[in-house]
Amino acid sequence: MSGFDQVDGAVAEGDLIAHFGDVFREQRRLADGAALAPLGDRAVIEVAGPERLSWLDSITSQAVGRLAPGDSTELLVLDPQGRVEHAAGVIDDGESTWLIADDGDAEALAGWLTRMKFRTQATVDLRSDLVLVGYIDGGVISATATAAAFAPNGAALVWSDPWQRISVGGHQYSEVIEHPAADYAWRVAILTAEQADALAASLDREAFAGVLAAEALRVAAWRPRWTTEVDERSLPHESDWIRSAVHLSKGCYRGQETVAKVHNLGHPPRRLAALHLDGSDAVLPEPGAAVFAGDDEVGHLTSVARHHEDGPIALAILSRRAPIGDLVVRADGIDIAASQQVIVPADAGATADVPRLTRLSRRPTAPDPRDAVPGTGS
């Protein structure tokens, strides 16, 4: 956490600063671009070497081969069946490619990349010496955070989250007219420990927000992340992650065949939904809580937050066949009513325009008198 844990009012939970004393006020200031959040739950991997981009392009879901210095994107590592194994934000500075991963995934991702190098001219280094802060672009804090960012090769390392809009080569399953991600101009600045100390000392207490505030904005934007929305069954289609992390027309990579088949011909077996929870019992369920439609269990919560405007909200992975109406979340023996907003529709996928063949009957049919040609006597 570096110097941020010394800020007056900081409440730490392990390596995370949960809040600075007023969660809702912090949310509002973070959403307005007037605060930044230390992100102790993320880590940085540096990939260097002349073949780094072409190599990453060949083994991940995203087209990064021509990434220009300062450009940002996002990638997934999939298993041979197309399930999500790892996820990372990506920014290149012309000399190194910097991957931002959830802390619980970073070491495994760095290890997998190291094993996949073979003779590739690239190095992989888990940079535990670096610190991350997140903020919304366009506010008063943006210039300060950008100026403080690490720039070892001339380009400031500030990752622009691509979730705000559909990336080139991506596809959005959500059918909403106004996607909540449109206002989610999320940025993550990479800092050295010294830069983090200096930034913490230069700002007053009102300029800081905890991870509870950052998570509430993420959940409200329907933004999936590895720590919460990924399990051993996760396909990128289920959480609309093709929107930002998958390039559908790039070359082959592990899992690409499954991605293409589900997108073009099939439907993902599960779907992400947003839930507005009844807060009258003052019970906020934990991630993993079961979701019911009547007596049938149809899914589970993946992320939960208290939002400064929307109240208790959650993301949930549901069965594709779960009904569209209101649901119930069961937590600690209490049933909590949940109003559902569809993110990924049940009929997502099957986008290919496959011509349908006329079915041929084995039994000859009698000619229709209406087909007779006038004047032939037939």
Write the DSSP assignment of 191-207 as a string of letters: EEHHHHHHHHHHS-GGG
Measured in residues, the chain has a length of 378
Which residues make beta-bridge pairs with 101? 43
pLDDT at 364 over 70: no
Q: Which residues contact 364 (CB under 8 A, 6 or more apart)?
A: none
Cβ contact 127:45 at 8 Å: yes
Model pLDDT, residue 312: 96
Q: How confident is the model at residue 152 (pLDDT cuts 50, 70, 90)?
A: very high
Cβ contact 106:53 at 8 Å: no
Q: How confident is the model at residue 2 (pLDDT cuts 50, 70, 90)?
A: low
Q: Which residues contact 117 (CB under 8 A, 6 or more apart)?
A: 55, 124
Kindly report the backbone phi and psi dihedral angles of residue 266, in degrees, each rounded to the nearest multiple of 5, phi listed first: -120, -160
pLDDT in tens, 27-54: 999 999 999 999 999 999 999 999 999 9
pLDDT in tens, 323-338: 999 999 998 889 999 9
pLDDT in tens, 171-229: 999 999 999 999 999 999 999 999 999 999 999 999 999 999 999 999 999 999 999 99
CA distance 191 to 134: 11
Kindly report the backbone phi and psi dihedral angles of residue 67, in degrees, each rounded to the nearest multiple of 5, phi listed first: -65, 125
Of residues 172 and 374, more confidently modeled: 172
